[in-house]
Amino acid sequence: TRETEGVKGATILDGLKLWFGDDRVEGLYQRQIDAEKHDRLRHQHITSLVV
């Protein structure tokens, strides 16, 4: 079910936090999110230049 998947995901994340430290894991996730945002913005910019 969806509930157990959520718990499983949280457990993996908690494990990573225990292993690497909370700040480091949070930082990695934030960097990934920022990179995805950046790519999307860059793609929009290129598209608007083409048009």
Separation of alpha carbons 8 and 19, rounded Å: 16
**21 φ, ψ to 5°?**
100, 140
Sole residue written with tokens 């999110």: 33
pLDDT in tens, 17-31: 787 788 887 888 888
pLDDT < 50 stretches in the chain: none
17 CB-near residues (< 8 Å, 6+ apart): 25, 26
pLDDT at position 6: 55
Q: Are 13 and 21 in contact (CB under 8 A)?
A: no
Residue type, 1: T
Would you list the domain boundaries of the chain?
2-50
